[in-house]
Amino acid sequence: MRSIFLLLSFSPILISYGQKLQAYQLFNKEGKKVDFEKMVSTLSEKDVILFGELHNDPISHWMQLELTKKMHEKGNIAMGGEMFEQDNQNAVNSYLSGALDDEGLDTVARLWTNYKTDYKPLLDYAKDNVINFIATNIPRRYASMVYKNGFEILDSLPKKEKEWIAPLPIPYDPELPGYKAMQTMMSDHANENFPKAQAIKDATMAHFIYQRFKRDNAMFIHYNGAYHSNNFEGIYWYLKQLQESLRIGTITTVLQENVNTLEKDNAAVADFILVVDEDMTTTY
């Protein structure tokens, strides 16, 4: 009897300790904690949601799917992502229609190594619910061409291949902090074209997001590396060039040792900040 009494006496302490272990915490851009439902409520008023992920982080991929489900419950949506390149759109469409199976898609499309664990659930959700999924990214060979030769090299592309990138010439501001920082960080390895290669990706993703948004008049949820939309730059900046009044919500993902307090450097990076424990396992 005494042992049972002791166990019951200490059990609240054990439960309390267990409840403090968190894998993640959401914050708004002011650094205040918010719950998932509050984020959903705020973002449901937007035209476009840019969900900035860490490519190998399972928490952000899980939350992408959960957010997508919630937004779909509220109304019509379209989906799209950086991980699919525009010249693979036909393959994506064939998978969505059932004309291609998993093996067929893997054969004809350039899938990322973590596709099965991280992006297949999103594509399958689109398939099961008859939702458009747009391959928004520029074919990587063209971004490589820009890195080596600048924007001008794209003028030499055949007309058909230009359909897979943003209309030329794209606006470009080398003074945007993100592009300037990129040049500084990679100064030992990069030339002046390095941020341009990033910009052509951002511009192309923005172009195909906006094109589908205007066509469907439905919320577009886009999945991209956080650096493509952090600090309201990148894709966000290019979308605003297309339509200043566009209502865009952003989410970013960061790693911290302590998820309960938002570090100063991570504040105001996006409308919502998903803070993940830095010890979280990765998908690759």
Calpha distance 77→61 (Å, rounded)? 18
33-34: strand order across its sheet: 33-34, 24-28, 272-277, 248-256, 48-53, 219-225, 77-85, 133-137
Q: What is the CATH number of the domain that holds 183?
A: 3.40.50.11550
Range of the domain at 77: 40-267
The amino acid occupying position 239 is L
pLDDT attached to residue 189: 64
Residue 7 lies in a domain: no
Per-residue pLDDT of the chain (284 residues; tens, 9 = 90+): 554 444 444 444 444 444 578 999 999 999 999 999 999 999 999 999 999 999 999 999 999 999 999 999 999 999 999 999 999 999 999 999 999 999 999 999 999 999 999 999 999 999 999 999 999 999 999 999 999 999 999 999 999 999 999 999 999 999 999 999 888 876 666 588 999 999 999 999 999 999 999 999 999 999 999 999 999 999 999 999 999 999 999 999 999 999 999 999 999 999 999 999 999 999 99
pTM: 0.92
The four Cα atoms 166, 169, 174, 176 give a dihedral, to 10 degrees, of: -50
Three-state SS for 277? strand
Calpha distance 272→219 (Å, rounded)? 18
Residue 3 lies in a domain: no
Number of domains in the chain: 1
Closest C-alpha among 106, 61, 56, 57 to residue 84: 106
Which residue shows structure tokens 């074209």? 193
Which residue shows structure tokens 């952003």? 250
pLDDT attached to residue 140: 97
Residue 128 lies in a domain: yes
Residue 210 lies in a domain: yes
Calpha distance 147→207 (Å, rounded)? 20
Whether the Cβ atoms of residue 78 and residue 212 lie closer than 8 Å to each other: yes
Q: What angle do CA 179, 185, 191 make, to 5 degrees?
A: 70
Q: Quick one: 236 exposed, middle or buried, by C-beta within 10 A (0-12, 13-18, 19+)?
A: buried
pLDDT attached to residue 186: 66
pLDDT attached to residue 243: 98
CA distances from 74 to 52, 77, 79, 263 (A): 22, 9, 15, 33
Residue 279 lies in a domain: no
Closest C-alpha among 154, 268, 140 to residue 205: 140
The amino acid occupying position 208 is F
pLDDT attached to residue 164: 98
Residue 32 lies in a domain: no
Residue 236 lies in a domain: yes
Residue 86 lies in a domain: yes
pLDDT attached to residue 191: 81
Calpha distance 37→147 (Å, rounded)? 41
